[in-house]
Amino acid sequence: MVVSRQWRDIAKDEYFWKCICAKRWPSICKRPPPTLSYHKLYQTFSKPAPPQPLLPPQISFEDLEFYIDLWSEQQLIFSEAISGQNLRNGIKNRPRDISEIITAHLDDPDYKMIMQVEPSFTIPLGHHITVSVLAARRDTNKMACILNRAVFDYIDSNAYRALAYDYLNFSPAHPFISGIRAWVSLLFLDVNNDNIMDVFGIEIDFCDAASSEDEVLWLLDMLDWK
Q: What is the pLDDT of residue 9?
A: 64
Range list of H helices, 67-212: 84-89, 100-107
Radius of gyration in angstroms for the set of CA atoms belonging to the chain, rounded to a whole number: 26
The backbone region for 138, taken as left when phi is positive above 0, alpha when psi lies in -120 to 50, beta otherwise, is alpha
Q: Judging by beta carbons within 10 Å of its beta carbon (0-12, 13-18, 19+), is residue 122 exposed, middle or buried? A: middle
Provide the residue-wise pLDDT of the chain in tens; the chain has 226 residues: 445 666 676 667 888 888 999 999 999 888 877 778 888 888 888 888 888 888 999 999 999 999 999 999 989 999 999 999 999 999 988 998 899 999 999 998 889 999 999 999 998 888 899 999 999 999 999 999 999 999 999 888 889 999 999 999 999 999 998 899 999 999 999 987 778 889 999 999 999 999 999 999 999 999 999 9
Dist. CA 64–CA 220, nearest whole Å: 10
Q: What is the pLDDT of residue 28?
A: 86
Q: What is the pLDDT of residue 74?
A: 86
Tell me if 134 sits within 8 A of 80, measured CB to CB: no
The phi, psi pair for 20, rounded to 5°, reads -60, -45
Residues 6+ apart with CB under 8 A from 66: 81, 82, 83, 84, 87, 133, 134, 135, 136, 146, 204
DSSP letter at 223? B
Residues 6+ apart with CB under 8 A from 7: none
Tell me the domain boundaries of the chain: 5-46, 64-222
DSSP H or E stretch at residue 216: helix 213-221
Tell me if 221 sits within 8 A of 57, measured CB to CB: yes
Global pTM value: 0.84
* Residue 79 β-bridge partners: 69
